[in-house]
Amino acid sequence: MLTYTPGDSLAHRLDPRTKLLAQAAFAAAAFAHTTPRGLLWATVVAAAFLAAGRLSPLRAVRGYLPALPFLAAGPLVSVVDVEVTGVAEAATWPVGNGGAAWSLGIDPAAATDPLLASYRVLLILLVSAVYLHTTPVRDSRAAIQRLVPGRGGRLLGVGVALVFRFLPLLRSDLRSVREASAARLGTERPLRERMRLVAAAGIRRAFGRADRLALALRARCFAWNPTLPALRFGRVDLLGLLVAAALTGSIAF
């Protein structure tokens, strides 16, 4: 799971608002340029983002392992061409003598557009991984609350902070449950039974953490207007803003 890692890279020194703007501009440009040539340039830009955050591409991809099967499913499903014939005769069965005939074929050319789409989403995920790797949770909350004014921004900031902090904990809980089950010969159980046990234990731990979180917030007099870190644009942010402006300008070409 990707989390914030302290460092002194270029991306670490950027203001979180600059990184959010550059990330949004990259996503917009990636969806605007859907050709292979456009995605080639997007790959170069994504590699520059990774280099700016000193984040290994392999580590970034491992952070999104749960999403990779869904990205691969689109191209794989699209190559399968199923054709049904004789439907009219099948509708009269058992009166009629005919039936539906199924023919299964493979069309590799049909996977081109889904493959490009999946690759485009993967590039956007890699860029977002740089943000997660280089931005503390409190800075993210401060940036969101400054970008979205009012109580709605404060609620959104709290939600983002809680997700960033507790999603890794929930995944760790599920991993612990699976390891404990395997140590007790849980692997000998049927797959459906293993899924039920892991899901039930994971839900119990999630609700337990939610109860403890609510108690901790009340004990600390949780307020809507906490003291957040000060955010200031520096000289290095000029480079980030120029990159965001260039990506936004590329949409028109």
Reply yes or no on whether the pLDDT at 48 is more than 90.
yes
Residues in CB range of 68: below 8 A, 6 or more apart = 61
- To 5 degrees, how large is the angle CA 148–CA 7–CA 50? 75
pLDDT in tens, 21-43: 999 999 999 999 888 899 999 99
Tell me the pairing of strands 101-106 and 80-85: antiparallel
Q: Which amino acid is present at 221?
A: C
pLDDT at 237: 92
The more confident residue out of 246 and 218 is 246
Answer yes or no: pTM beyond 0.85: no
Q: What is the pLDDT of residues 92-114, one digit of tens each?
A: 444 444 455 566 667 677 778 88
| Burial of 130: CB neighbours in 10 Å, binned 0-12, 13-18, 19+ | buried
| Greater pLDDT, 134 or 205 | 134
Measuring CA to CA, which residue among 144, 147, 208, 140 is closest to residue 173?
208
